[in-house]
């Protein structure tokens, strides 16, 4: 069922953030910062935009999502659990021996995961192939690909960008989680990555810039992308790494670090207080 209430979606996103913290804390391992920054994006996609059915996770006509920044799997798992692909208690098995949820998404083991990922820079190429398949076989599904802003330092991303425009993949929507931080610091300091929107525009994409934490704005951006014909869309979502947990926000230290007992309690209390 498509949820259209902004308040309902905001509450789901808060539950998703709690699921992220629960996973990383339980495993004492994982990547909370970038998972929290894309929580609103994935919530809007799975609960408002995508044509999917948890009871038929492998339907040929379903929309696809490629989480190219696969280390942020806690966000995807929390959304999939909330959507009903598997029980939410499974989140506590994250990164544990014999558990369902590996550190990076596994399409062969986890219901709802459309593509295994984790090796950065490869997701857009895969998404291109999916979008081409949809067109060639007239299946009508859309493909969404979530990239990290640090990830797009990889050269393969730009080769794939050229391919997407060459084949006019208007059923492809790329979302760049632009939180401005990666493991070694800011994207500007690490690689001088600036003017992301201008780069995608030069490569031939329709480009939309949006507040990646504003549910209404995200819905509007995805709706606009759906109307574009003859070219793919890149949505540059301006986000905050660690969004929703005060001591993690805009702090590169939390790229790949688990909270201790005290920090876990603070984080969960903050997320509870923010839910309406």
Rounded distance between C-alpha atoms, residue 194 and residue 216, angstroms: 26
Classify residue 221: in a domain, yes or no: yes
Cα dist. 19→6, 94, 113, 227 in Å?
A: 20, 11, 17, 33
Q: Report the CATH number that the domain containing residue 72 is assigned in CATH.
A: 3.40.50.970
- CB-side exposure of 101: number of CA atoms within 13 Å? 33
**HSE-up of residue 156 (Cα within 13 Å, Cβ side):** 13
Residue 95, domain extent: 6-274
Instruction: Tell me how many domains the chain contains.
Output: 1
Q: Is the pLDDT of residue 225 over 60?
A: yes
Find all residues with CB under 8 Å of 80, minimum gap 6, and list them: 46, 86, 110, 111, 112, 113
Cα separation, 220 vs 246, in Å, equals 28
pLDDT for the residue numbered 276: 55
pLDDT of 192? 84
pLDDT digits (tens, 9 = 90+) for 134-167: 999 999 999 999 999 999 999 999 999 999 999 9
158 in any annotated domain: yes
pLDDT tens sequence across 165-223: 999 999 999 999 999 999 888 999 998 888 999 999 999 999 999 999 999 999 999 99
Give percent of the chain with pLDDT exceeding 70: 99
Average pLDDT, the chain: 96
Distance CA 168, CA 24 (A): 39
pLDDT at 1 over 80: no
3-state secondary structure 89-114: HHHHHCCCCCCCCCCCCCCCCCCCCC
In a domain, 37, yes or no: yes
| Statement: residue 273 has pLDDT above 80 | no
* 274 confidence band (pLDDT: 50, 70, 90): low
Q: How far apart are CA 108 and CA 164, in angstroms?
A: 26
pLDDT of the residue at 74 = 98
Residue 1 lies in a domain: no
- 27 alpha carbon, distance to own chain's centre: 21
Number of CB atoms found within 10 A of residue 136's CB: 8
The pair of structure tokens assigned to 211 is 């507040």
Report yes or no on 219 lying in a domain. yes
Report whether 115 contacts 64 (CB < 8 A). Answer: yes
* 254 assigned to some structural domain: yes
Contact 237, 243 (CB under 8 A): no
Q: Does this model's pTM top 0.75?
A: yes
């Amino acid at each position: 069922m498509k949820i259209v209430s902004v308040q309902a979606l905001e509450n789901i996103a808060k539950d998703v953030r709690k699921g992220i913290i629960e996973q990383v804390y339980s495993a004492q391992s994982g990547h909370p910062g970038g998972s929290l920054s894309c929580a609103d994006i994935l919530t809007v996609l799975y609960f408002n935009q995508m044509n999917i059915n948890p009871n038929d996770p492998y339907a040929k006509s379903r929309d696809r999502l490629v989480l190219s920044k696969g280390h942020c799997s806690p966000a995807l798992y929390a959304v999939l659990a909330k959507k009903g692909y598997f029980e939410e208690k499974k989140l506590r098995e994250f990164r544990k021996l014999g558990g369902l949820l590996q550190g990076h998404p596994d399409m062969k083991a986890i219901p709802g995961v459309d593509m295994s990922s984790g090796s950065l820079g490869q997701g857009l190429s895969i998404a291109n192939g999916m979008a081409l398949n949809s067109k060639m076989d007239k299946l009508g599904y859309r493909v969404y690909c979530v990239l990290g802003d640090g990830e797009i330092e990889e050269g393969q991303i730009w080769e794939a960008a050229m391919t997407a425009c060459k084949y006019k993949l208007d059923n492809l929507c790329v979302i760049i989680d632009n939180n401005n931080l990666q493991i070694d610091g800011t994207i500007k300091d690490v690689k001088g990555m600036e003017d992301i929107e201008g780069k995608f525009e030069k490569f031939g994409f329709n480009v939309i810039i949006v507040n990646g934490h504003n549910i209404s704005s995200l819905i509007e951006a995805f709706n606009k992308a759906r109307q574009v014909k003859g070219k793919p869309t890149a949505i540059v979502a301006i986000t905050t790494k660690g969004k929703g947990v005060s001591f993690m926000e805009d702090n590169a230290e939390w790229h790949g670090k688990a909270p201790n007992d005290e920090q876990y309690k603070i984080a969960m209390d903050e997320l509870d207080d923010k839910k309406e």
